[in-house]
Amino acid sequence: MSAPAFSGSRRLLASLRDVMAGSGTAQARLDKIVRLIAAEMVAEVCSCYVARPGEVLELFATVGLNPEAVHQTRLRVGEGLVGEVAGTAKPMAIANASTHPKFAYRPETGEDPYRSFLGVPLMRGGKVRGVLVIQNQKSRDYAEEEVETLLTIAMVVAEMVAGGDFGGREEVAASEGGGTLPTRLAGIALNAGLAIGRAVLHRPHLTVRQMVADDPEVELARFREAVAHMHSSLDDLVALTRDSGLDEERDILETYRMFAEDRGWLARITEAIGTGLSAEAAVQRVRNDMQARLARVSDPYLRERLADFEDLANRLLVNLAGKASIADSGTLTDDVVLVARNIGPAELLDYDRRRLRAVILEEGSTTSHVAIVARALEIPVIGRCASALGVIEPMDEVIVDGDNGQAFVRPSEDVLDIFQQAIELRVRQRRSFAGMADLPAETRDGTRIKLLMNAGLLIDLATLETSGAEGVGLYRTEIQFMVRSTYPDVAAQTELYASVLDRAGERPVVFRTLDIGGDKTLPYFFAPDEDNPALGWRALRMGLDRPAMLSKQLRALVRAAAGRRLEIMFPMVSEVAEMDAARALLSRELRRAERMGVPLPERVAVGAMVEVPALLWQLDPLLDRVDFIAVGSNDLLQYVFAADRGDPRIAQRYDTLSPTFLAILRQIRESADRKGKAISVCGEMASRPLEALALIGLGYRRLSVSAPAVGSIKAMVRSLDGGAVARFMAHAIVSTGHSIRPELRAFAKDHGVEI
C-alpha cells in the first residue's frame, strides 16, 4: 500500500474516532460516519446495513440514497450484492453493478444512477454484523488500496454496531436462543465421558477500547513486545510437556509454536498498524480476515490450523491487555465447563487441569489439536455445538454428555439427579473394573475372550497396564502424522514405533499402516478434492499409488521391531491383488534390512482389514495370504448400506445390530475359522457392551476396543453364559426386522448380563 493511502486512512480513522467518542445517539453518530466516509473516499453514496435477527440486513444509514429508505429497505443474507457480501464475508468491488447476476434492484432507494459498487463486511467475533458500501455514478475499478481502507474502516464501524444501542442486542440474544430455561444442545462427541460443572465462557475477544493509534511507532513497539511474550510463554509450555513426558502434547505445541513464528501473519498485523490502527485493532483486523477465510474452508485440517491462528491472535490481545493468559481474565470455579467457539491447545493448557471438567465447542473436529490434548487429559469434549456461546451464560450449570455428543444447560432437578447418579455409577464401575483388571475375560461357562485395546497415541498406552487389556489390537499410525507440520522421516517413525513396542512390553501390538485420505488429511500432502472422499483415494489405495511413502513406513516398522514380534495390518483392502502388492513391498523391506545388517523382527505377522464388501467374495484366497484379519465395523457398515456415517440425516438410520449386517459378520467369522486364521473386530461396535454381546454370540473371540471400554466389556463377558447368547443369536439373525437391539437388550436383562 502506498504512503498516500496510509495517510488518508489515518486521517479518516482519526475523524471516525472523534465521531464515536462524541455525544448523540448511535443512529446520529452512524449518520455522521457515512457522510465522513463518502467525503474522504470521494463517493457519491455511502450506506451502512446492519444485520438483524432472521438473516436480514437492514439499511441503517446512507448518504446519496433516498433517506426515506433507511429502516425500510431490507435484504436477506445472500440476496443482492449487499447480501452476497454478508453471505460470503468477502469484499466485493464491481465496475458495473447492474450487470452483475446477484444485483437486486430496490426502487425505493433511488440507486439507479450509481454504477460502481464496493461493499465490505462488518466483522466482529467471527460473525458478520453488517455491510458497509460505497457507490459512484461512473463505472470504475476500485483500487486495492481503497478496498483495504474500507475494510479497516469497517472494522471500526463493526465495533460501534456491535456495542451501540441499535435496538438489536436483545433481538440478537433472542434469536441465538439465550434465556434462563433448561436447554439441550446437540453436537458430536470428540472425547467420551460425563461431567457436571459451571460454565466459564472462553471469550478472548477482549474489547478494543482504542481503535486508532496516536503514534504508530509506539503501537509497533507494543506489538513486538507482545509477540516476544507470546513466544516465551509457548516455550515454557513446550518445556513443561517435555519435562512431564507428554509426547503428543509436545509435538502439538511445537507445531503450534512454528505457526506462531510464521512471518506472514505477523507482517500483515504490522501493515495494519501502519494504516493508523492501534496494536489491538490491527490484531483484530487480521483475525477478522482469517475468520472470514475459515468460514469458506471445507478441508478439516486447514480449518484446524486457521483455528490455531485465531488462538494465537487471542493470546496477543491478552498480552496487549496486560494479562498473563486468557485463563487469568476471570475467577475460575472448582468445576469448570469451558465453553468456546474454538480453542487452541495452548489456551486449553492455560486452564487449571484440576478444575477443568469438560469442554464445549461451537466448532472442532476429532482431528483437532484440542481434541487430542483433551483426550490425553481425559476431559469430555463435545464439538459442533451450534450457538453454545449464545445460549450458555457464565456460571450456568451444565451437564456434558461426551458419550452421546450433547449438553444440558440449566438442567432441571430430575435431569441433574439422573446424570449425578450416572456419574456416581461410573465411579463405582471404574473401581470395580480396576479390581478385575487382572482377571481373565471369561464367560461363566468357560469361553475365553481376548480383549485388546485400540490406540493412536503414546499416552493411550499408559492405560494398557491398568485397563486389563491383553495388548493393542489396533494402533492407528496416522494420528502422529496428522499432528506434525512436516512428514516424519524413517528415523522419526522408527523412534515412535519402537517407543510403542517398549511401552507395550510383552503385550502384542498390531500396527495399522497409514489410513489417511477421506476426512483425515495431512498438511504437507496434497490430495485432490473428491465428491465422496470415503469412497476415494485413501488408505492402502494411496499407499500403493505412492509406494515410497508406504515403503518408508514399513521400513521404520521393521527397524523398530528389531528382534521383537511385529504385527502389521493393511487398511481398506478391496481385492486380493492389493494385498499381494502390499505384501511384496513388505518382503522387499525385509530383504533390504537383512542386506544392510539391520536386526530383523523375531516374527512378522501380516493382516488385513475387512471393511470393503467386495472382499467378501475373495475371503478364502485372502485368508490364504494373511495371518489374521480384523473387521472394521465402522466402514463396513456404511459401505454395506451405502450410508455415509458422517451425514447426520442417515448416520443412525442403519444399525450394527441389523440382521443383515450380523449375517455378514457371521459369514466372515466362519470363513476365518475354516482357514484357522485369527479374527477380531476393532470398530466402535466392539466397544459397546450390547454390540460386543452380539459379537460373542456370533462366535467372535477377539475384540479390540477403546481403552475406556475395556472394563465394561470385561464385566459384560464375565456375567455372560456364552452358550445361551450363541443360541439366541442363531435364531435372532434370521429376522427380517430393522434391528434385533430391543430383543438383545431384553435377553441381557433376563439373563443378568451387565450391559
Catalytic residue annotation:
369, 682
595 and 589 Cβ atoms separated by less than 8 Å: no
How long, in residues, is the chain? 755
Q: Is 101 left (phi over 0), alpha (psi -120 to 50) or beta?
A: alpha
CB 86 within 8 A of CB 57: yes
Residue whose C-alpha is closest to residue 118's, from 150, 70, 87: 150
Integer CA distances (angstroms), 477 to 344, 458, 556, 598, in order? 23, 11, 12, 22
Task: Please name which of 75, 37, 266, 44 lies closest in space to residue 156, comparing C-alpha atoms.
Answer: 37
Question: 410 with 395: CB under 8 angstroms?
Answer: no
CA distance to 15, 231, 329, 442, per residue, from 283 (Å): 21, 16, 19, 60
The Cα–Cα gap between 605 and 558 comes to 12
Phi-psi region of 282 (alpha: psi -120 to 50; beta: other; left: phi over 0): alpha
**413-435 and 710-718 helices, crossing angle to 10°:** 70
H-helix or E-strand spanning residue 750: helix 741-750
Nearest to 515 by CA among 495, 489, 535, 541: 541
> Which residues, including other chains, have CB under 8 Å from residue 374's CB and lie 6 or more apart?
190, 191, 348, 359, 380, 381
Give the integer Cα–Cα distance in Å for 602 and 417: 55
C-alpha distances in Å from residue 317, one per residue of 202, 294, 647: 14, 20, 37
| 677 DSSP 8-state letter | -
Residue for grid cell 446520529 = 28
Radius of gyration of the chain (CA): 30
Question: With contact defined as beta carbons under 8 Å apart, do 687 and 713 qualify?
Answer: yes
Report the alpha-carbon distance of residue 433 to residue 427 in Å, rounded. 10
Q: Looking at 619-752, which runs of residues are DSSP E strands?
A: 628-631, 678-681, 702-706
Task: With CA atoms as reference, report the closest residue to 632 among 685, 708, 707.
Answer: 685
Helix 3-21, helix 144-163: angle, nearest 10: 20
What are 123's strand-pairing partners?
128
* Stretch (H or E) spanning 600: none
Residues 6+ apart with CB under 8 A from 735: 659
What cell numbers appear for 570 in the block?
493393511
CB 162 within 8 A of CB 129: yes
Q: Where are the beta strands (DSSP E) in 458-555?
A: 472-476, 509-512
How is residue 713 written as a grid cell? Answer: 466389556
Give the count of beta carbons closer than 10 Å to the beta carbon of residue 593: 19
| Nearest one of 313, 228, 225 to 268, comparing CA atoms | 313
CA distances 548 to 486, 517, 585, 665, Å, are 16, 17, 9, 34
